[in-house]
Chain A
Amino acid sequence: MIHALIFLPLIFGVLALLNPSSARALGLVGSFLTLLLGVASFGGFLGGTDYAFHTPLLAEAGVYYAVGWDGVGAVLMLAVVVTTFIALLAAHDVPPAMVGLALMMETGLLGLLAAQDLVLFYVFFEATLIPSLLMLGLFGGAGRVRALIKFAIFTLVGSLLMLAGILAVRYLGGAPSFLLGDLLAHPLGGSVGVWAFVAFLLAFMVKTPLFPLHVWLPDFHAENHPSGLADVMGTLYKVGLFGFFRWTLPLFPEAFALFQPYLLALAALTAVGAAWIAYAQTDWKRLLAYGALSHMGIGALGLFSGTPEGAVGAIFLLAASAVYTGGLFLFAGGLYRRFGTMDLRPTSGLAKSAPALAALGLILVLAMVGLPGLSGFPGEFMNLLGAWQASPSWTFVGFLAVIAAAAYALNAYQQVFHNAPERPAADLDAVEWQWGTLATLVIVFMGVYPKLFTSAILPAAEALAAVLGGGR
């Protein structure tokens, strides 16, 4: 079943590319079937099955096709299948090829979450870049080529350095293969370990993203197709926190201990700096890009604390933010469809003429702000709880970012929906009702019953904290 789950979107993606006229139907059916498989797999995982499978891919070089679900992978997998389905449901007016590329990206994302072999992880991680680049290059705005080059160079420099690190981890550490278990049994310490850690660190800092390697992100979002589909897939592709959790931190506990204070500082500064910049934005996509960046900073703060609470919080935040940030990008796409602009200012006073639209916007914004009862809160809370144990002062700085989130998100909301003059606009159409309802249900469910997910993540988080020495 795990292979069907990983490769089903790819098959539907290729079909959608070959049949542009029925791309939308194929996209919906493909992502819905994947969603069903994903939910069933998650159920199976909770029932105690890990779907582990492995077979040699390039036996001479110790590379295996090894996949399986652990708690972290399964929770994020669920976020990917749900969010992709919501995005494909919402984006009904995109060019047909984009649907195919989005489905191909889904395969890459599921593969990198399931991979239990470092080289296989790298292959999926890099392969996902191809449809992402094509989406930006083919359907982006006027400055797309510049944004594309920036995005590609940051990603590739990071990941090629990581490839060097991958080779070093195995050959200097003496592991017989690239399987996660083998690598963990042969840790690489000393100064070489530090260098390999830095290589991994840079790759995942680009993809978290963390200051100062985040500069590709605003352009990436601002130049992508206004429908928001590419932005949602790009948001899902920000798997840096997962990369730290699954690979970097467990492989290099010694080097991490050395860097921990600086990484905590970097995470806190990313959170606060991005929130500050987000406040000044007047463009929906840039605002959301910086807002998401700020949240990733909070997640990184929790993860780098080395405590089980922080690690659970980071992964929960990653999963939750995929849904609400993705939803906000799609929501902004809906506004673009109505007014032909991503600018916040000229679309004021919508609440009167489009109350349902305003309500959907409010739910998404409040989830982002971290209102208790919605999906943003548990993650942020656990992150700060974990971070407090490692560094109260940086946690205080991170907390400022949480307050700032309320400022920039509610400010934007007020500008669009409540400022005078009032603007006539169409309320939610049928498609928007559908995806809006679905997204709201997911956000509320994650908010009121986070235990389902946190308890799945907890064993892995405790194992990680044990390796890292509990952050103290």
Chain B
Amino acid sequence: MTTLWILFLTALVTTFSGFFAPPRTIKALTLVGMAATLVSLAFGWGETVVAYGGMYTFDAFAQGITLVMVVGAMIALLADCDYHKRLGWPAFEYYPLVAFAVLGGHVMASTPHLGVMIVGLEILSIPLYALAASRRSERGFEASLKYFLLGAVAAAFFLYGIALYFGATGGFVLGAQGSGLVWAAAVMMLMAGLAFKAALVPFHWWTPDVYQGSPSPVTLFMATAVKAAAFAAFARVVVSVGLGGPAFYALAALVLLTVFWGNLVAMVQGEAKRMLAYSSVAHAGYIAVALFGPNPAPALGYYLLAYALSTGLAFAVLAQLDEGEGVPLRSLAGLWGRSPLLGLGWTVALLSLAGLPPLVGFWGKYMVFLEAARGGQYLIVALALFAAAIAAYYYLRLLGAALFSKAEKAEPVALSGSAPVGIALATVLVVLLGVLPGLGYGLFTAASAIIR
């Protein structure tokens, strides 16, 4: 309960104090709120809190997801500073909107009730539509509108799914079992609606445009926190309906399409944000691989953490380079010479995303594949691993663009405010959790059940 209240109050206080305090203060307040959330998470770690007649179930799984979201939000907040100043980005709204989105994601992750889930989904989504357009540029509007329209379609799918679920089981709470055509349709609808938000192929079409058009810190937030929340709900739905029959084939198709399509299309992109957008699509596929295992919660949560740190770090570096029109590959050239911190962060982030040990991304992949292997799905593991090898190609291209080619303009990148702190922190975490994998994975072992 404390976590919920802290997030709620953070969102409210930052909204109203924004009317008279400068953005810098609002940013500090939001960060304090996020830090307080971390503290309350630490105190209640592993203990399940049930409130509102079971509609709010804050179990170990939801705690892990909330942790990932707060980490993503904090990187997004810390890394935005320079971007904000350089591009004259609209004042304070960014911070309360992020806080509201985290609150929504938290609600979405902490409920077995489909009605509450869609309330959380909307609290999460509506701030994002505003955030996507917050730079007030053509591209921003395009991104926002696309996101809004496709988000509405996704919500519609999800609502139809809820209605059918009620028809098949007579309730709104996950965990019931039904049968027949209505039940199958309900499962498919629910999965499709959430697959939109989690950006699984073929429901990913909005991702590249929205990620590219949004301001880079917002993209960072979407790729980390929003994906975690969407996956929390997706995992709850999939685990509760079980993987018998059509749901298994639907999930297998989603996973394989996602890892192959995401990685193959990423190879031919010419712009770094778009490339990473497709990479985040592909990673959604790897996360979903964990769902084939008998106890997916720890591996899934751990992968989300590993992925959030790595991809958050990559986008945080891009946020420092983005002039508002995206980051073409050639403008990355000579990154190491222009700013060693950015060069190091970029190298570490990409190698981790590519899944090379001893970085945290490797252990994330390792744990989800292990989970699927425990579930006996060797073919899916082998195919997903093959896709991971394809992915190495474009991660190396991104790395090569930054490291192995001469700079057009050699002036150093000026980092100011909290950006170096955020980037350094994320870099250290990616390496540290990679060298000592038990440290990160230990956080998630308590999450033994997604559904109780």
Contacts and interface: CB of A to CB of B under 8 A. Distances in A.
Interface string B345-387: 0010001001111100011001101100110001001100110
A123 B373 CA distance: 19
B441 interface: yes
Contact of B438 (A59, A123, A161): A59
8 contacts: A60-B298, A61-B367, A61-B441, A123-B357, A137-B404, A160-B386, A164-B378, A167-B370
A157 interface: yes
B140 to A, nearest CB: 34
B324 interface: no
B389 A168 contact: no
The 8 closest A-B pairs by CB, nearest first: A123-B357, A137-B404, A167-B373, A157-B389, A160-B385, A156-B392, A58-B437, A164-B382
Given A59-B438, A171-B374, A160 B389 contact: yes
Given A145-B400, A145-B404, 5 more contacts: A148-B400, A152-B392, A164-B381, A167-B378, A171-B374
A124 B382 CA distance: 21
Contact of A138 (B351, B367, B403): B403
Nearest to A192: B378
Interface in A73-126: 119, 122-124, 126
B445 interface: yes
Nearest to A125: B357
Nearest to B381: A164
B188 to A, nearest CB: 30
Interface in B307-360: 347, 351, 354-358
Given A126-B356, A127-B357, A156 B389 contact: yes
Interface in A236-281: none
A127 B356 contact: yes
B432 interface: no
B396 A152 contact: yes
B370 A61 contact: yes
A336 to B, nearest CB: 21
Contacts of A153: 389, 392-393
Nearest to A123: B357
B388 interface: yes
B373 A168 contact: yes
Interface residues of A, number: 34
Contact of A57 (B370, B397, B438): B438
Main secondary structure of the interface of B (DSSP, over half): helix
A446 interface: no
A129 interface: yes
A134 interface: yes
Contact of B445 (A60, A63, A145, A148): A60
A113 to B, nearest CB: 16
B369 A167 contact: yes
B437 A57 contact: yes
Contacts of A217: none
A163 interface: yes
Contact of A163 (B369, B397, B436, B445): B369
A319 to B, nearest CB: 26
Contacts of B374: 171
A156 B351 CA distance: 12
A402 interface: no
A137 B400 CA distance: 7
Contacts of B445: 60
A50 B399 CA distance: 40
A164 B386 CA distance: 10
Contact of A60 (B347, B373, B382, B441): B441
A149 interface: yes
B298 to A, nearest CB: 8
Contacts of B370: 61, 167
Given A164-B378, A164-B382, A168-B373, A61 B392 contact: no
A148 B367 CA distance: 28
A130 B445 CA distance: 30
Interface string B388-409: 1100110011011001100000
B438 A130 contact: no
Contacts of B367: 61
Contact of B441 (A58, A168, A171): A58
A444 to B, nearest CB: 39
A150 B388 CA distance: 16
Contacts of B438: 56-60
Contacts of B357: 122-124, 126-127
A149 B374 CA distance: 33
Interface in A48-80: 56-61, 63
Nearest to A59: B438
- A124, A144, A145, A160 — most chain B CB neighbours (10 Å): A160
Contacts of B354: 156
Contacts of A168: 373, 378
Contacts of B358: 123, 127
Contacts of B369: 163-164, 167
Contact of B388 (A56, A63, A123, A160): A160
Contacts of B389: 153, 156-157, 160-161
A133 interface: yes
A182 to B, nearest CB: 16
Contacts of B351: 130
Nearest to B404: A137
Contacts of A161: 382, 385-386, 389
B373 A133 contact: no
Nearest to A144: B404
Contacts of B362: 123, 126
A133 B382 contact: no
A123 B363 CA distance: 10
A123 to B, nearest CB: 4
Nearest to A170: B373
